[in-house]
Chain A
């Protein structure tokens, strides 16, 4: 085991902006450069495992001969969580560093800002993480593609489970910004469609990162719902769970919760992780498909740590980009866009594709229940929900996305 100090130094050393795999024997041509922008200082918990896996994937691609003999090279940039900085950095990467394409984005507004920049400057942008539906629908454009299952898709996965529950009175709690508001809106709309007799009796929108958990929990309890839909994550989730379990909010109530099964958010809860919540997430220790086992082993060997969901997102983004680049002779924007449309690629979770209709990938998520095992939160009774089954019909998508 490396101690964390050494690991961190190594991370910083390798991550110090330009990462070229120096020991590549076979890929020797002029590198293909990817410009990657993310909120590294603002969201380190998700993005350090993300960048680790990104570097791993790049090393694997290059060791296997790169793209037609040319190695991949990535320039990482920190937008510090500010979309206007992300736009400036996108300009820097495209104009000064001559990257072939842009990628990254964690926050939705950063993703949208880069997407709009890509559209204006006719550059390919492969968004990895931002969840907002607007990225591929209301604000979708020809040059922007997104890997991760969107807010709509993850909400739809949970609605499928929620509709099976014998409950009618629902309450919702979500962080007060676009992601939280959209998730609640979709959940209400889709659940009401599936089960017209449900009632929503209370909603809470604590400020992101500043939840007043005691008051929020009490306000939800006062409405006495039979079930709660939770969208909070990170520190808000931890505080919500602590107050909720001490005050008995979760007893005799069903809880349906977005993203809570992701190790990023489940692990910090340690032995206080809630049990029996229906969640989307990533049971990294239990998925034993050949693709995932190989990924998990390689990640462990390289970083001496287990992968988080961020790692899967980073790894799959590089692999999808590499798959696309291999299909075309040279990384020229229009050819890349054409290749991305309908591109099948091998995700760590199984085969997926970037849909031609809205540029959304069909990479899915795992849906299951939370449980405690050996004093740690984990997922049980999980299944893989393939993203392609949780998107609206094509004719609806066409109305959601500007056409032409």
Chain B
């Protein structure tokens, strides 16, 4: 170490050496990230499944490797054998999930499989806790790679160097596999055009199952290889999954080289980014994704997907509600109006929450169902509504009503802004861009402590005196939420709704008859955002406080689950889904510690038996009965 001058400042900061080492550190992270993302992108390319459980497979890889390596004899064979064994075991677990669960629902509406894999995530979380206990586990270091070597006079861990090598080797092997084997050729063909491959007589089932096995092995390997550098813990699944998705999408869905490039980009940007902006860690990957998707709508190396042949098949048209449904709805409304005066305060709180979530789910349904766009970041508008109301109360001294009126405008304004970018994209790219914007909004709420109070939130957002009673507040929430939900329903039946559905079923034909598909989608997105904002504003005053968690990923996922559980293709779907999901979770959390296991299992069972969602299944049953007569 060289020092100079009385001030103690270093004369030679060894700047270049440090930068080289920083770049190497970035490479090691990129390599780890690529391993996980490669499996995800392979699976998505062929099966189009948004596999939420990929992070769980990664975590299981790490845990199984820990168990194997600590139980096998020490040395090279024990360690590397344990790592490979864990990867293969995870592959088998993936195989079981595919055969027992996913294979049965490939024909379900798009994204429905997401619901199933989320059920698996919940189940694995509790099973891992039961099997390995709550404490973080530390695996042994890799034999032969324990120490470090000197690079430019600075120390660098051998194992990181090894990891830097693993990424390209795995990439090379995968490329060989996909380009030099018949199986690989079929997989690539299926990635480009699934239906055509099927039409040519290829056994799709085997192909899907084997691809899922390969993807799971890669996830398991990614987890197992973290053993010498990271502790094994119960948060590994969710901490990796978002980043893995980002890598896959930034690279271009289904593109291995793209995933490698994206992992490299994110790894290096992160390594150098923290030198300049230490606090950028929360949001960096999502900033990268937002920029890449805005500039390149199909990721770095992705190609526009060939129009799926199924696109010609329009979704079933939506007619007026049949009589029994009207009666059931009327009865439910009567119950919602008449029973609460006899309910206790807590029941009123839960009912208020349910009313809010019904609107939240219905607003997401507007873009997912009639709009035909997915959103992974709908919580942003819920949260922006909540923050709009709370910030108005805190900084402007606005009354509750003022805040509630402001909420949809704030959310709608941001919907207008973010939506302009999001609705130009299609499918999962569009959904991931909504996620990117949601995460950017979340990190602003999280880090702008002076304005939003950071993660400690805004407290004291309680209703005005006249609405402080739980019953009054319930009726207020019910009136606003039910009114907005019915308005959304009305909009779907209005000309605007027809236009929305027309562009979903065929952009080309819709534009041919003079519908501006982009503008319709954009307005639909904004409308949904504003409706979510109403729900968010009510939520803020219902809870008395607002935290960044109101716009966190988990809140967006909740909304997705509600819509999918209820059924995307029916108008009552989001209502039924919100009732079922909120009610189930509220009850389970109170009854058992293992609520994640139970909830996950219930979701999996529902997915298997009602692949069109609860309301969808009810409609099918009704139609079948009435079709017979």
Q: Does A6 contact B (CB under 8 A)?
A: no
Q: Do A243 and B138 touch across chains, with their CB atoms under 8 A apart? A: no
Instruction: Check A206–B281 contact: CB distance below 8 A.
Output: yes
Q: How far is the CA of A400 from the CA of B136 in the complex (A)?
A: 37
Q: Give the complex CA separation of A128 and B229 in angstroms.
A: 33
A210, B281: Cβ atoms under 8 Å?
Answer: yes
Contact at A4–B155, with CB atoms within 8 Å? no
Residues B346 and A84 in contact, CB atoms below 8 Å apart:
no
Q: Are the C-beta atoms of B134 and A48 separated by less than 8 Å?
A: yes
Whether A214 contacts B25 by the Cβ 8 Å rule is yes
Find out whether the CB atom of A247 lies under 8 angstroms from the CB atom of B157: yes
Interface string of A97-140 (1 = CB under 8 A from B): 00000000000110011011100100000000000101000010
Q: Which residues of B contact A264 (CB under 8 A)?
A: 135
A279 to B233, CA, bound (A): 23
Interface-lining segment among B108-116, B517-525, B585-593: B585-593
Does B457 belong to the interface (CB within 8 Å)? yes
CB distance from A50 to the nearest CB of B (A): 11
Is B270 an interface residue, CB under 8 A from the partner?
yes
Q: Are the CB atoms of A204 and B22 closer together than 8 Å? A: no
- Segment of A265-273, A322-330, A358-366 engaged in the interface with chain B: A265-273
Question: Which residue of A242, A248, A267 has the most chain B CB atoms within 10 A of its CB atom?
Answer: A242
Q: Which chain B residues lie closer than 8 Å to A176 at the CB level? A: 279, 281-282, 447
Q: How far is the CA of A270 from the CA of B70 in the complex (A)?
A: 13
Chain A nearest CB: distance from B521 CB in Å?
Answer: 31
Cα distance A169–B9 in the bound complex, in angstroms: 10
Q: Which residues of A contact B10 (CB under 8 A)?
A: 224
Instruction: Determine if B349 and A91 form an interchain contact, defined as CB atoms under 8 angstroms apart.
Output: yes
Q: What are the residues of chain B within 8 A of A342 when measuring CB–CB?
A: none
> Which residues of A are found within 8 Å of B233, using beta-carbon distances?
234-235
* Contact A178 to B544, CB < 8 A, known contacts A80-B589, A95-B345: no
Complex alpha-carbon distance, A205 and B447, angstroms: 11
Q: List the count of A-B residue pairs having beta carbons below 8 Å apart.
A: 215
Instruction: Give the residue of B25, B446, B543, B590 whose beta carbon is less than 8 angstroms from that of A218.
Output: B25
Cβ–Cβ contact A216 & B274, under 8 A? yes
Q: What is the chain B residue whose CB lies nearest that of A270?
A: B138
Q: Which of B137, B279, B543, B586 contacts A87 (CB 8 A)?
A: B543
Contacts of B380 in A (CB 8 A): none
Pick the contact of B22 from A215, A235, A270 — CB < 8 Å?
A215
The DSSP consensus for interface residues of chain B is: helix
Cβ B454 vs Cβ A177 within 8 A: yes
**Residue in A8, A91, A209, A214 whose Cβ sees the most chain B Cβ within 10 Å:** A214
A154 within 8 A of B: no
Q: Which of A189-232 contact B (CB under 8 A)?
A: 199, 203-207, 209-210, 212-219, 221-222, 224
Shortest CB-to-CB span from B27 to chain A, Å, is 9
Q: How far is the CB of A240 from chain B (nearest CB, A)?
A: 10
B29 touches A177 (CB 8 A): no
Q: Is B500 an interface residue (CB 8 A)?
A: no
Give 1 or 0 for each of A74-101: 1 = CB within 8 Å of chain B CB. 0001101011110111011001100000
Can you name the residue of chain A whose Cβ is closest to the Cβ of B539? A84
Give me the interface of A with B, judged by CB distance under 8 Å: 4, 8, 12, 15-17, 40-41, 44-45, 47-48, 77-78, 80, 82-85, 87-89, 91-92, 95-96, 108-109, 112-113, 115-117, 120, 132, 134, 139, 168-169, 176-178, 181, 199, 203-207, 209-210, 212-219, 221-222, 224, 234-235, 238-239, 242-243, 246-248, 264, 267-270, 272
What are 8 of the A-B contact pairs (CB < 8 Å)?
A: A41-B593, A96-B345, A109-B455, A178-B454, A210-B243, A215-B22, A235-B231, A247-B155
